[in-house]
Amino acid sequence: MVVEIAGGRALYPYLGNTIYTWSGVIAVVMAALSIGYWAGGRLGDRYADAKHLSYIIFFAGLATMFAPLLTSIGGAVSYGMDIALASVFAPLSLVPASLFYGMVAPYAVRLASRKGKVGANAGNVFALSTVGSITGVLAAGFLLIPNMGLSHVFLFTSFAMLACSLALHLDRKRVFDAIVYVALLILMGTFSFSPVFGDTLYQKNSEYALITVVEKEGVKTLFIDNVASSAERDGEPVFGYVLVSARAFEIAPNPERGLVLGSAAGTQVEMLKREYPQIIVDAVDIDPLTVKIGREYFSFRDDERTNVHIEDARRFVSGREDEYGIVLIDAFKSHAPPPHLLSVEFVRAVKRSMKDDGVVAVNIIARLEDGGYLGHVHDTYASVFGNVYVFPSGGRGEVQNIVIIATDASRPEFEEKYAGEMYGMGHIGRIITDERNPVEVFADYR
């Protein structure tokens, strides 16, 4: 279970944290385990000795060592694939380890049942296996991943398996194996791969993602699971969509309060403060490490005009009414916003938190297609706000950042000024709800 959870987490940069990712990981791992069960049972009938069980455990540990490298390769290759196919292909990196882990239980049952009591011994083995899985799940989620690099989680698990294999061999005085195991462990420590290029200033796993700060040619970029989240040069935003979002400032009539959902390194928070010298900004992000990074490596500053809230964006806006003149939403889970931040229920909550003449600007990654992902998000906002404007940041045929600006205020001068830059959209009648919210299906970002 540690390998499965860590493997799924390692695939986030390539597949995103979506239902596709976990469906693919679970399906592939279960298929590999099934083959392992089949093979382990037949090997148990043929050999049924501790020596061969130790070999199985050894190769399980060895395959776990190389899982991060295989995941990096498989994930990189999957970039050119459709997301559904990629979500099945990339987890194949976990097959070697899963095969050998699957072989352990049936072989252990056969070994324990040499003197009879097959049913009782099988029950004992599978009970212990389930307890081990529960322990692995809790250890991975609450202890290992939050406090270790992912490659170290695999190494830790590998070391545990190699130690178990070694324990079986030590009874046979095979001390030389210990030297081989340690050498392999050290060797594996040299393997790492990341699609992020530049001088790495900081890297650490938070409770939610792998956080990396890279500097290249004077630009500092915050990567969340190897997806670029914020970038600055000399304290000024670099990403074009941030400047597109700033067009919302022309609609907001000098707001007293502002809200940034998904503040990350604080680029948009500081942009709001520069635009409106008197504004008080609530900066909301679920990950405290990104806020810490913003303070240390980017322009984000705590002062009397900034209130930082470490909280889920939807929980934060729920129950708030008539507070904000401007809201900027830039919350992502890999390449797409978390599903619960796209539904009409969330949009209504955002509107309740705003002044009557307030404006909201939300960043998404999509193609310019009325009937696709963009169409769903547009119609969801259009069902709540009277005026919705769509601003692409790139060309028509590419996946790109698209800013949706929505308000109930009438701003004919704004519409006239940007008439040539807005993307005109019709309505397709598909509103995203909490009940029906297949973001992973229609969010085409590959």
pLDDT for res 182: 53
Using CA atoms, how far apart are residues 225 and 9, in angstroms rounded to an integer? 9
Using CA atoms, how far apart are residues 271 and 273, in angstroms rounded to an integer? 5
* Single-letter amino acid, residue 230: S
pLDDT for res 189: 45
Low-confidence ranges of the chain (pLDDT < 50): 172-173, 186, 188-193
Q: 328 vs 49, 258, 316, CA distance in Å?
A: 64, 8, 14
Look at residues 170, 133, 181 and name the one whose alpha carbon lies nearest to residue 50.
Answer: 170
Using CA atoms, how far apart are residues 233 and 253, in angstroms rounded to an integer? 29
Helix 2-10 to helix 50-77 angle (10° resolution) is 10
For the chain, the residue count is: 446
| Residues in CB range of 67: below 8 A, 6 or more apart | 3, 6, 7, 10, 93, 94, 96, 97, 154
Burial label, 265 (beta-carbon count in 10 A; 0-12, 13-18, 19+): buried
Look at residues 27, 56, 26 and name the one whose alpha carbon lies nearest to residue 42.
Answer: 56
pLDDT for res 170: 66
Handedness of CA 162, 164, 169, 170 (dihedral sign): positive
pLDDT for res 355: 95
Q: What is the CA radius of gyration of the chain?
A: 26
Q: 413 vs 184, 246, 248, 255, 416, CA distance in Å?
A: 68, 16, 13, 19, 5
pLDDT for res 192: 43
| Residues in CB range of 231: below 8 A, 6 or more apart | 219, 220, 221, 222, 237, 238, 239, 267
Express each pLDDT in 78-108 by its tens digit.
Answer: 867 877 888 899 899 999 999 999 998 888 8
| Residues in CB range of 244: below 8 A, 6 or more apart | 391, 393, 401, 403
Q: How many CB atoms lie within 10 A of CB 393?
A: 18
* Single-letter amino acid, residue 270: E
Neighbouring C-alpha atoms within 13 Å toward the C-beta of 345: 12
| Residues in CB range of 280: below 8 A, 6 or more apart | 256, 257, 258, 305, 306, 307
**What does the angle CA 214 – CA 304 – CA 349 come to, to the nearest 5 degrees?**
80
